[in-house]
Amino acid sequence: MKQLVSSVVCLLLCGCVALITPKVETTLASLEAGDYALDKTHASLIFKVKHSGLSNYVGRFNEFDASLSFDPANVSAAKLTAVIEIDSLDINNPSLKKDLMDGTWFDQPRYPQARFSTISVTPVSDNQFSFTGNLAWRGVQKPVTMLVTFHGGADNILTRKYTLGFSASGTFKRSDFGMDAYIPLVGDEVSIDADAEFLKN
């Protein structure tokens, strides 16, 4: 009897798992075209910069938004825009954050946001693309390239919206944007890593 009950419970649990597991389409042609908005509850934006040539100093921004216009039949026409709230910098050190907000570093009172907007998209592989866009920050606008990897699309059982998932990485020089304090003690090159889900409008 116990074995029968265990078998029934196992079958029920397996059925539940099947119900909540999304069917993710990973081929580009199978993804849905449309306009997408960032799912802020499933997104992260992390940066790294060399410190004393010994380690990477890691921080993140907790408040940012983005939109994506996407057509798998014409990925080169994709449009991605993003806005980062500089004051949302999170480095787990309130005193240092206060120092970084001043004019020597982020100059947050004068430049409260950073903006990225694509100007071109080129394929790299079946699911990777090079997104080049203008980064506007600290009164300067410069092109920055991000390598974007699409992980697939699926109907989100929680939001009941079709969802795309991707990760992106890239680098730029902070000195290009007028932030040149303490180079090379603090590295000039900044690495960016983003992971995000986008919900279809």
Q: Tell me the pLDDT tens digit for each residue of 157-177.
A: 888 899 999 999 999 999 999
**Residue 23 has what pLDDT?**
84
Beta bridge partners of 121: 131
DSSP 76: G
Q: Is the pLDDT of residue 6 over 80?
A: no
85-135 pLDDT per residue, tens:
999 999 999 999 999 999 999 999 999 999 999 999 999 998 999 999 999
Residue with tokens 């009941």: 160
- For 27-200, CATH number? 2.40.128.110
Of 10 and 3, which is predicted with more confidence?
Answer: 3
Q: What is the pTM of this model?
A: 0.86
Contact status, residue 201 vs residue 164, Cβ threshold 8 Å: no
